[in-house]
Structure 1
Amino acid sequence: MAAVFPNWVDLPKEVTTKILRKVGAVDVLKSAQFVCTHWYSISLDPLLWRTIHVTHKSNNFDVITTAISRSCGQLEDITIVYPIESLLHHIANSGSNLRHLRLQCCSRSLSISNHELKECAKKLPLLEGLDLSNAGLSKDCVETIGQSCPLLKDLKFIKKRKYIIKGFIECDDDAFAIAKTMQNLRHLTLLGNWITNAGLLSILNGCPHLESLDLRGCLNLNLQDTSLKKACAAAQIKQLRPPHEYLAESSDDEFDISDSFTINSFLLDAIVQAHDLDLRNSFDLMESDPSDFFFE
């Protein structure tokens, strides 16, 4: 007796839509939509494209642009790896309802400028979550984002990997800009930032609704400072990840996903306590390959 296989066309539209969402934007546009006319008609539904996650490197940016266009302005959540200027421009013009924007591995996107990020932010008034990985933002750019996106509740800002242990430069520009313009923040991640205690105090005072704070790799901070301890306690932060907390090699969502990156707690402690430049540059302290670290 011949086996009886289900007819995929008979599935309810809602079920098929969920299946195509699991397939992903790129694969739907490159293959799945051509399976049958029924699937093609579903692929034209703007509701299918409210969420677009492209979490692997893709050089086929025309496909991603098509996915954004098919949302017909209903795009709410988008993740792009190695974003380019034309994509950012398209998102800004098509995403007035956008709630969550993730731009990963920005350091490889030479055409993404602070100007473009500012112009994009100005067109996203409903943005609630922003994730910028390996980005180099100016103070003016951070302020523009805060002023243009008053509903912003979740900010994840990760410095370029090579700057995390670069000479312990102190700079509170990012912190002061955040404190000045992002009063509604609930969750803040500042991995590898050059923020000092003064900058953190300004954030705690300027962002009274903060619930979680991730400061891993922010090596200029001294959380044992009495005034900072009091401020943290007063702010009632529910989840605090300190500067020297272990950064696992598998933290692909937190660093450039194209590269391996490991900092163990021993290395961080040794560097923080080091006053000798030779000790700071000693590759004997590293578990990982020396090429994973940059001293400039």
Structure 2
Amino acid sequence: MARGTTKPLLRRHKRKTAVRNWLDLPNDLTFMIFSRLTTFDILTSVQQMCHHTIDRSCGQLVDISIEYFGTDNLLKYIIDSQGKLRRLQLVQCFYTIFDEGLCEIAQKLPLLKEFEIILCKHITCVALEAIGRGCPLLKSLKFNHNGHSKGDNEDAVAIAQNMPNLRHLQLIYGCLDNDGVSAILDGCRFFESLDLRWCYNVNLEGRLRKMCDEQLKDFIEPNTLEGFSGYKFGKLCNANWYEDLEYTYRPRKKMFGHHIAENESQDNG
């Protein structure tokens, strides 16, 4: 007791609150939460959360995925705050990330090794050229479902001419044809794996087939079935689907499209 008083001093104890990590939430639950947010919520609350995370990383961030809420300004803020980024993923930033934004940040990503651009309608060969010039260590590129016109090899040419050290390339629903595939194989001499699922303008035969057989350790053909094992499918809003692209490349050469067809014929037999 304190001197001169008859009542004991009361000490208030702060209640400890549990801090939950959003990364521990299942992907489906995270998507359900984000799908209920309004545009205003996304542009304020979610982006503020991202800014806070970037600030707390103190320049040590090496890997970040931006889904649904990315903008050119947010990208610029991230890159200006970080000097060690190794992996960057952009998913379903339909009308908020443009060539101009990526061109501005590309030169500030000298250590980037993996880049994924999925369902971003306004990213074209212009940004791919800048990424190739600004990211000399880039080894893996996934450029999928970006809605460009079919029969156009501009993306393929930009990759072939500006990313000579590329090892892994994924062009799901790409608009390239045989000439585009040939340009990529000629320009990227260190290729190990190529995924051309549902690139329906590509018809592998003759010299092109031989190049794929000789240069690639792993190859996923345009006619590969949707149920290809090794990929998990996730449903996005607007009835769009995309793969989370967590395919582990096998150390042996295999033409996956033919492999699946052979397995199915054996099962039916």
Q: Is residue 247 from structure 1 mapped to residue 226 from structure 2 by the alignment? A: yes
Q: Which residue of the partner structure matches residue 163 of structure 2?
A: 182
From 70, 86, 98, give the equivalent of 1:99. 86
Counterpart contact for 2:197–2:223, Cα < 8 Å: yes
* Counterparts in 2 of 1:230 and 1:128: CA distance versus 1, 3 Å: same
Q: Which residue of the partner structure matches residue 14 of structure 1?
A: none
Alpha-carbon distance in 2 for matches of 1:84, 1:229: 40
Question: Which sections of structure 1, spanning at least 5 residues, go unmatched?
Answer: 1-8, 10-18, 28-54, 264-296
Alpha-carbon distance in 1 for matches of 2:209, 2:167: 19
Query: What secondary structure, in the 3-state scheme, does the structure 1 residue paired with 2:66 have?
Result: strand
Query: Displacement, 1:88?
Result: 0.9
Report 1:111-122 matches (<5 A).
Answer: 111-122=96-107
Q: Which residue of the partner structure matches residue 199 of structure 2?
A: 218
Query: Displacement, 1:262?
Result: 6.9
Alpha-carbon distance in 2 for matches of 1:140, 1:150: 17
From 198, 208, 212, give the equivalent of 1:228. 208
Counterpart contact for 1:25–1:64, Cα < 8 Å: no
Query: Displacement, 1:23?
Result: 1.9
Q: Which residue of the partner structure matches residue 156 of structure 1?
A: 142
* Counterparts in 2 of 1:150 and 1:198: CA distance versus 1, 3 Å: same
Query: What secondary structure, in the 3-state scheme, does the structure 1 residue paired with 2:143 have?
Result: strand
Q: Which residue of the partner structure matches residue 139 of structure 1?
A: 125
Counterpart contact for 2:65–2:88, Cα < 8 Å: yes
Counterpart contact for 1:106–1:132, Cα < 8 Å: no
* Counterparts in 2 of 1:262 and 1:246: CA distance versus 1, 3 Å: farther
> What is the one-letter code of the residue matched to 2:164?
Q
> What is the one-letter code of the residue matched to 2:108?
K
Larger radius of gyration: 2
Q: Which residue of the partner structure matches residue 34 of structure 1?
A: none
Query: What secondary structure, in the 3-state scheme, does the structure 1 residue paired with 2:233 have?
Result: coil
Q: Is residue 206 from structure 1 mapped to residue 191 from structure 2 by the alignment? A: no
Query: Displacement, 1:132?
Result: 0.4
Counterpart contact for 1:175–1:202, Cα < 8 Å: yes
Root-mean-square deviation (Å): 2.7
> What is the one-letter code of the residue matched to 2:55?
S
Counterpart contact for 1:180–1:206, Cα < 8 Å: yes
Q: Is residue 88 from structure 1 mapped to residue 81 from structure 2 by the alignment? A: no
TM-score by length of 1: 0.64
Report 1:1-296 matches (<5 A).
Answer: 23-24=21-22, 56=31, 57=34, 59=42, 60-82=46-68, 83-107=70-94, 110-135=95-120, 136-160=122-146, 169-223=150-204, 225-235=205-215, 237-248=216-227, 251-252=233-234, 257-261=236-240
Q: How many equivalent pairs are there? A: 206
- 1:101-134 deviation digits (Å, cap 9, x = unpaired): 0010021xx2311000111211111000000011
